[in-house]
Amino acid sequence: MNIDLNSFEREKAIDETLQMGGVDLGLANARVGSAIRLDGKAVKSAGVIALTGRLSGSVELDCDRCLEPVERPLDIELDLEFVPNQRLADKANVELHPDDLKRDEIDGSEIDLVDIAREQILLDLPHQFFCMDDCKGLCEKCGANLNLKVCDCEDNEIDPRWAGLQNLN
């Protein structure tokens, strides 16, 4: 789904459902939900395209502790600016405005919304994700999901790292 920047004079409302089922986030532990909604607008001003709005939908993340996949709702506020790279090239002899460096360049006259959504979703992902705050994770010995069952491994053996401490008692 692309926005053709030549298709509007000044402002274009965007109300799209992006089909992202086949989009790869490039991460083993995260998958994007199939339909991501983009609600917002693109505004052209002095050669800069501002894209504001909201991305909503969901991503499926694997819990860092128990590895179970969990659906995580997305609600990302967009406040982006794009500069056609031709404009930057035109300004090669002019001093670049510092703001230009913070803006994303785009090739040609289209903005690829799926590409933008993918990038924003990646930026929004937490560094760590747990299915619940007190997820018990997997047993290191037998691999059992300790949220679902209690295995016998832990009680029977003392981690060698703690064995020394126990002698202090």
> For binding to Zn ion (CB under 5 A), which residues are involved?
63, 65-66, 131, 135, 139, 141-142, 144, 151, 153
Q: How far is the CB of 58 from Zn ion (least distance, A)?
A: 17
Instruction: Please say whether the beta carbons of 72 and 129 come within 8 A.
Output: yes
Which residue number, 8 or 129, has a Cβ lying nearer to Zn ion? Answer: 129
Q: What Å distances lie between residue 147 and 6, 53, 61, 81, 136, CA to CA?
A: 54, 38, 17, 44, 6
Q: How far is the CB of 125 from Zn ion (least distance, A)?
A: 16
Which residue number, 122 or 151, has a Cβ lying nearer to Zn ion? Answer: 151
Q: How far is the CB of 144 from Zn ion (least distance, A)?
A: 5
Which residue number, 49 or 135, has a Cβ lying nearer to Zn ion? Answer: 135
Q: Could you give phi then psi for residue 124, rounded to 5 degrees?
A: -85, -15
Which residue number, 108 or 143, has a Cβ lying nearer to Zn ion? Answer: 143
Which residue number, 120 or 147, has a Cβ lying nearer to Zn ion? Answer: 147
Written as six digits, the tokens of 111 are: 């903005």
Instruction: Please say whether the beta carbons of 14 and 41 come within 8 A.
Output: yes
Report the distance separating Cα 8 and Cα 46, nearest Å. 14
Q: How far is the CB of 159 from Zn ion (least distance, A)?
A: 13
Q: How far is the CB of 162 from Zn ion (least distance, A)?
A: 17
3-state secondary structure of 4: strand
